[in-house]
Amino acid sequence: MLFCRLKVKPTDSQQAGVSPALVSPLAGFPHLWAMVVSFVLYPICASGLLTSIAGPEIGLVAAGLSWVMAIHLIFGVGWMAFQGSWRVLIAGGLAGTAAMVTSALATSSWMPLGQWIIILAGGTIFGRRLAVGERPLAAFIKVGVFVAAFMVAQLLLIWPELYTIMQTMTSDLVTDSEGYFRKMGYGADAVTQSVEQTRIVMNTIVRLLPSLMIMSVLSQLAVGFLILMRLLSQRVGYLVAPPFVAWKTPFLLAPAVIVAAALRFVGVESAAFIGDNILALLAVCYCIGGLALMEFYLVRARFGRVAKSLFYIALFFTQVMGLAVTALMGFIDSFVDFRARRAAAEQM
């Protein structure tokens, strides 16, 4: 969805000159009752209230359920916004907001409220942009800009405290790992090397925490939007998305790469910090484009499922090197477009 050219298939109502948002609100929406349940239960599960009441085991289960319900809400809100079902959407949003605020007051944790706002606003923006005929890529970019801006604003408020907590956790983990490595029978040099590697990994995670948090939310939105598009295709016949092999990272991300790379070398630590997080976000986009390009050539080479599975397993074990090569392929393909060149060559 994020990296492809979408084909739009008009519905009967569109051919008659009627906006899809005006046709049968909630028509074809599956399991509306489940959406109502998610509107109420998601705030309770996501807020951590069950952890404080029933203990960490129940809290862990609630966290898993909240992740699934978030995706359910994302495509459900998008569907309602697409169809213009504002009464149901507003009623559910207000009920969920009341439950979220109540849970936040009980747990003194307000971060989940931000996630709730992103679900409601992101799903509404995406659904409405599709309803007026906008391409899914452009709609998702607008949602992504909103999410990034909103989460950056959130992080600015809590970053000093969050950074201190993460640094303390890193220090404790490094100290514990040293004792663990010694119990495992590691020699003094091996312990020192392993502890240093652990420290590097944890410091990298802390440094890239903003981009990791944004990627986590965007991944949920992307899954929810993909389900929404599939639902629209099946129930409304409105969108037909091409296969994964046709996905391509848009060239418009290239200027962001240049800006982020420049920030890394201006000699100011805060600028380098921002540049690192931007590059981490862009790397994921280019990796998806690179994987689509790999899949294209594997299909053209007639690799079977077993052979492709072995290829991707081997790619996984290349770790950072494989990640860098995949991202580089996606970056080059964003302006070279290997698949279009191959198609043109075959037609000659």
From CA 334, how far away is CA 255, in angstroms rounded?
Answer: 12
In a domain, 192, yes or no: no
Query: What span, in angstroms and rounded, lies between the C-alpha atoms of 94 and 76?
Result: 15
Kindly list the distances between the CA atom of residue 247 and the CA atoms of 2, 3, 59, 251, in Å, as whole numbers in the listed order: 8, 5, 38, 12
Closest CA relative to residue 322, chosen from 276, 285, 291, 301: 291
302 shares a domain with 279 = yes
Same domain, 232 and 307: no
pLDDT for 260:
92
Q: Are residues 231 and 134 in the same domain?
A: yes
Query: Are residues 218 and 147 in contact, defined by beta-carbon separation less than 8 angstroms?
Result: yes
Q: Domain range for residue 256?
A: 243-348
**Is residue 207 included in any domain, yes or no?**
no
Q: Which of 140-144, 334-338, 339-343 has the highest mean pLDDT?
A: 140-144
Within-domain flag for 166: no
Tell me how far CA of residue 122 lies from CA of 141, 155, 283, in angstroms: 11, 18, 22
pLDDT reading at 226 higher than 70: yes
Number of domains in the chain: 2
The tokens describing 95, both together, are 């009920």
Location of structure tokens 């990034």: 148
The CA-based angle 36-41-44, given to 5 degrees, is 150
Which is nearest to 83 in space by CA: 56, 115, 139, 123? Answer: 123
Q: Average pLDDT in the 288-310 region?
A: 89
247 Cβ neighbours under 8 A, 6+ residues apart: 2, 3, 4, 288, 289, 292
Report whether pLDDT(301) > 70.
yes
What pLDDT was estimated at residue 125? 93
Confidence of residue 16 (pLDDT cuts 50, 70, 90): very low
Is 2 within a domain? yes
In this model, does residue 346 exceed pLDDT 60? no
Confidence of residue 58 (pLDDT cuts 50, 70, 90): confident
> pTM of the full predicted structure?
0.78
Q: 20 and 88 in one domain?
A: yes
Consecutive H or E run containing 180: helix 136-183
Clarify whether residues 146 and 252 are in a common domain: no
If asked whether residues 272 and 328 sit together in one domain, one would say: yes
Does the residue 181 lie in any domain? Answer: no
- 227 plus 255 within the same structural domain: no
User: Looking at the domain assignment, is residue 210 inside a domain?
Assistant: no
Mark whether 12 and 49 lie in a shared domain: yes
| pLDDT tens for each residue of 40-57 | 888 888 877 777 777 777
Mutual angle of helices 111-131 and 136-183, in 10-degree steps: 150
DSSP structure string for 278-342 = HHHHHHHHHHHHHHHHHHHHHHHTT--HHHHHHHHHHHHHTHHHHHHHHHHHHHHHHHH-HHHHH
121 and 47 share one domain? yes
Whole-number Å distance between alpha carbons of 125 and 127: 6
pLDDT band at residue 141 under the 50/70/90 scheme = confident
- Of 81-85, 136-140, 204-208, the least confident: 136-140
Closest CA to 163 of 215, 113, 208, 112: 208
7 membership: H or E segment, kind and range: strand 7-8
| pLDDT tens, position by position, 227-253 | 888 877 776 665 556 678 888 888 888
237 shares a domain with 88: yes
Is 201 among the domain residues?
no
**Residue environment code for 220-247, b if the CB has 16+ CB neighbours within 10 A, otherwise e:** bbbbbbbbbbebbeeebbbbebeeebeb
Q: Looking at residues 128-134, what average pLDDT do you find? A: 87
Distances (CA, A) of 92 to 13, 96, 100: 28, 6, 12
pLDDT score of 150:
92
Same domain, residue pair 223 and 116? yes
* Inside any domain, residue 204: no
The SS3 of residue 240 is: strand
Residue 261 and residue 325 in one domain = yes
Q: Is the dihedral of CA 228, 69, 46, 215 positive or negative?
A: negative
